[in-house]
A and B are shown apart, each in its own frame.
Chain A
Amino acid sequence: MSERIAITVNGEDREVAPGDTVAALLGAIGLDTRKVAVERNEEIVPRSTYATVALAQGDRLEIVHFIGGG
């Protein structure tokens, strides 16, 4: 396997394997895809594409937890 891919998640450095998708990353972190929104390089990633969007070197991701309390 080739080298690891460096990304940042919520401002923190992280490495993933080549070909890893948004869904794989969320799975590795232990997050249910239905309770977060993911922004990749300043664009919201549609939930329907989590399993197909592959992460790339230098990607900046922000994971926003879905909360609804008042």
Chain B
Amino acid sequence: MDLDFTTAELHRYSRHILLEEVGAIGQAKLRAARVLVVGAGGLGSPLSLYLAAAGVGTIGLIDHDVLELSNLQRQVAHTTARIGRNKAESAAETLAALNPGTRVEVHARRMDVAAALDLIPRYDIVCDGTDNFATRFLLGDACHLLQRPLVSAAVLRFEGQLSVFAGYDGMHPCHRCLHPEPPPPGLVPTCSEAGVLGAVTGVMGTLQAAEVLKLIMGIGDPLKGRLLLWDALDARFRTVRLKRDPGCALCGDQPAITDLAAHLEPAAPVCAI
């Protein structure tokens, strides 16, 4: 591992390097890491800001959406002047200004099956900050099949949830052990329908960043097999233990899901992993 740091790097990351659990080796691991952030929105903003500030070497940002005025109440990686721009591009500009030492790879495209198969293998860790169940289930399945840890956060109204899914290791649960199927369309509202307190996305995206940094450096106790829940109104955290379901369709003993075919648009060709 490359442990050579410039004087400017030693200065920039001095408060990290001071930490016994991080040190120069942890900082070098961060610099060598490649993290994919899916969604440059409410979660992706604080998440990617803290990853860039921490000195993660390469951050991939994927988002097909353009910035809207209603995003700015929580999506703090953007600015008012950038309304109408692609969100991955906008966030990349902010990250570059914060830390020019981080390489940001912009993917201004939708996270679909083709993007999942193309991008996920190129990164060490994948972060879910998306706003819909279809993409969440695609990402969960793809990360499991491609054997990448998925650091998954979700928010709604005053509530946030966070977990790390790595069921491909045969020990920990996957996302489908918690929720086997997406809810029927329309049953669970989205943030655009039910609202979300901006600071809740900030808290959860920042917790998500902390889990990513821990995974990269191999320190602490990752949130694998645990679901962290936070309610802003109660100002209370809860942790629920998740167990591997032997009957799980994705990671169980006889998995029914072995490729991403179910996530393809109807009539599109099947492409197996």
Q: Contact string, B114-125, partner A, CB cutoff 8 A, digits 1/0?
A: 000000000000
Interface range for A: 20 to 34
In the complex, what distance in Å separates the CA atom of A10 from the CA atom of B191?
24
In the complex, what distance in Å separates the CA atom of A50 from the CA atom of B48?
39
The A interface is mostly helix, strand or loop, or mixed, namely mixed
Most buried by B among A39, A47, A66, A69: A69
Q: Is the CB of B243 within 8 A of A44?
A: yes
Q: Is the CB of B179 within 8 A of A67?
A: no
Given A34-B184, A44-B245, A46-B247, is A70 in contact with B41 using a C-beta cutoff of 8 Å?
yes
Query: Is the C-beta of B142 less than 8 angstroms from some C-beta in chain A?
Result: no
CB of B48 to closest CB in A, whole Å? 12
The 8 Å CB contact of A67, one of B130, B154, B241, B242, is: B154
Q: Write out the residue numbers on chain B whose beta carbons fall within 8 Å of the beta carbon of A47.
A: 180
The 8 Å CB contact of A68, one of B42, B154, B245, B247, is: B154
Q: Is the CB of A66 within 8 A of B191?
A: no
B interface residues, tally (CB under 8 Å): 41
Q: Write out the residue numbers on chain B whose beta carbons fall within 8 Å of the beta carbon of A65.
A: 156, 159
Q: Is the CB of A67 within 8 A of B238?
A: no
Given A44-B177, A70-B130, is A64 in contact with B243 using a C-beta cutoff of 8 Å?
no
Q: Write out the residue numbers on chain A whose beta carbons fall within 8 Å of the beta carbon of B187.
A: 32, 34-35
Residue of A with least CB distance to B128 = A70
Given A43-B243, A44-B242, A44-B245, is A68 in contact with B156 using a C-beta cutoff of 8 Å?
yes
Given A10-B238, A42-B241, is A68 in contact with B132 using a C-beta cutoff of 8 Å?
yes
In the complex, what distance in Å separates the CA atom of A49 from the CA atom of B26?
45
Query: Is the C-beta of B188 less than 8 angstroms from some C-beta in chain A?
Result: yes
- For the complex of A and B, 5 pairs with smallest distance between CB atoms: A69-B191, A67-B156, A70-B131, A70-B129, A69-B156
Given A35-B183, A39-B241, A70-B41, 10 extra CB contacts under 8 A: A35-B187, A37-B178, A64-B161, A65-B156, A65-B159, A66-B188, A68-B182, A69-B42, A69-B191, A69-B196
What would 6 A/B residue contacts be, using CB atoms closer than 8 Å? A37-B179, A43-B243, A46-B180, A64-B161, A66-B183, A68-B131
Residues of A within 8 A of B (CB): 10-11, 32, 34-35, 37, 39, 42-44, 46-47, 62, 64-70
